[in-house]
Structure 1
């Protein structure tokens, strides 16, 4: 059985330095998670060390994605230059390990006019999609200035992964403050806030009519759908008010793919299978922030009722969505 993991993070020393050098107002405090244990060493390695870690976990292929916050907090010129630099670096790693690696590109969303161009350039280099965030500065992902990015992604068949990000400082102060600094950070990120941010970003794209304009566009959400799969009955009420062509849940089932992000809980799997289709589910471990062992992975995969469904989850859906078997 082949296993393709599609949300596996990395970064570069140059990008790390640029992000850490930002002023307090622009700095993303979730960068602290990159420094826990040997995370930084693992994030910087997309060569032999990463391949060895994959072998230990029983992962046949990783789809690399730049660790949050990627180039999002940087000024436009820096975001553009570092996006191109990191994309070139990842493309070289894929060329060196063509049977083991693919990559999602990063886009200079602070420079909207250049983001679609970089997506097109990256696709030509062999990238299989892009990873973005729900907000760049104060600009939401569904802002009309980004519509060219989605039009280009739809035209090229490049899926867009919406990764969680830390909430704005205003929201963090209003909703997540009042505790010690690390508890506030955890509550506003992996404990809760990250996932609401990604869910809201996806929901805003639907309500904005993005998938009515670009019906061939596919987005990916981690963490079993960032809570959206649990709330479809309520969000369906938005369709009539927003003048959408279909129910919100229909867009989720037709335009959204869902990953596990290393959350190998059987209850989440079974709910996802009821809320959407097996054809929309993808395997991921969220490396190196989550590191399930090979037995952990195999035990979880045993929960599938059929070999056919298990194969779709571990490789078939990823091959189809990211066109992994097609010549580049």
Structure 2
């Protein structure tokens, strides 16, 4: 559920916008379809659901973001067509440009046949519970869409990351921050048909769910009839990208169970050798994660 791709045009556009060391990483990874398929074959992976990682496709200019988003989405859709059964695709959206995002949802899901959409935990500092994004959630809820939420650098990261790569710590906290915003703004309850997928075992969520519930009663407008935070979070899906063992999987499943756990590699941002090692470490989870993926995407079962 969590492999990425890059194209030369995408990397060129990102660098032109100043992303030479994206999210504080040393540089951009290399990627090509042949190497990706070889890694999948070596690891016994049937289907990889491609997406663009952070920093996404919106670098500050709405028109440029629309064009770049359309380009990467069409590129991925072409890969899906040329390699039947091997790839799926979460279409990028050019948020925070809501109007363009709505147009891209229709094009991606109706024309390209994308399996869902990919958004980041925040879009230029706007978190997913912001009311400006409500039209996007209305449309995705109507379509019962899968929304893959990838972490990105938080606003003000210069002050908190201490010069270190943001994927190390900030990504897992921004995932938790984004989920908390969806909870406390009521988005999860207002749009129950969206299937949300979060990465890296939910980041810090397994440790914070009870704390969020504790504080919920202190917030203005508290409604005691609203389901407890842990119950709301059990409806989310979580992938195992990152360091799933020895602590991530036990914490995740203790908090939210195992029936919505999915496999995620984070390739190509995670190098092939590290991906192979991580995959081997969770080999006993293959049946569980595969069965879960087939429930989320019934079309995948037909290929396996």
| Structure 1 position 91 matched with structure 2 position 77 | yes
| Selected match of 2:184 from 191, 198, 207 | 207
| Structure 1 position 311 matched with structure 2 position 303 | no
Q: How many residues align?
A: 295
- The residue that corresponds to 1:243 in the other structure is 222
Q: How does 1:166-185 map to 2 (within 5 A)?
A: 166-168=153-155, 171-177=156-162, 184-185=163-164
Question: Structure 1 CA distance, aligned partners of 2:105 and 2:20?
Answer: 24
Question: Structure 2 CA distance, aligned partners of 1:95 and 1:8?
Answer: 17
- The residue that corresponds to 2:27 in the other structure is 35
Q: How does 1:140-179 map to 2 (within 5 A)?
A: 140-168=127-155, 171-177=156-162
Q: How does 1:54-65 map to 2 (within 5 A)?
A: 54-65=40-51
Give the SS at the match of 1:212: helix
Equivalent residues of 2:198, 2:238 under 8 A apart: yes
Gaps of 5+ in 2: none
- TM-score for both structures, normalised by structure 2: 0.89
Question: Structure 2 CA distance, aligned partners of 1:139 and 1:272?
Answer: 27
- TM-score for both structures, normalised by structure 1: 0.83
Question: Structure 1 CA distance, aligned partners of 2:98 and 2:278?
Answer: 41
| Selected match of 2:124 from 120, 131, 137 | 137
Bigger CA drift: 215-224 or 232-241? 232-241
Aligned-residue offset at 1:299 = 4.3
Distance 1:194 1:316, change over 3 A: same
Aligned-residue offset at 1:294 = 4.8
Equivalent residues of 2:24, 2:164 under 8 A apart: no
Give the SS at the match of 2:2: strand
Equivalent residues of 2:20, 2:27 under 8 A apart: no
Gaps of 5+ in 1: 1-5, 178-183, 305-309
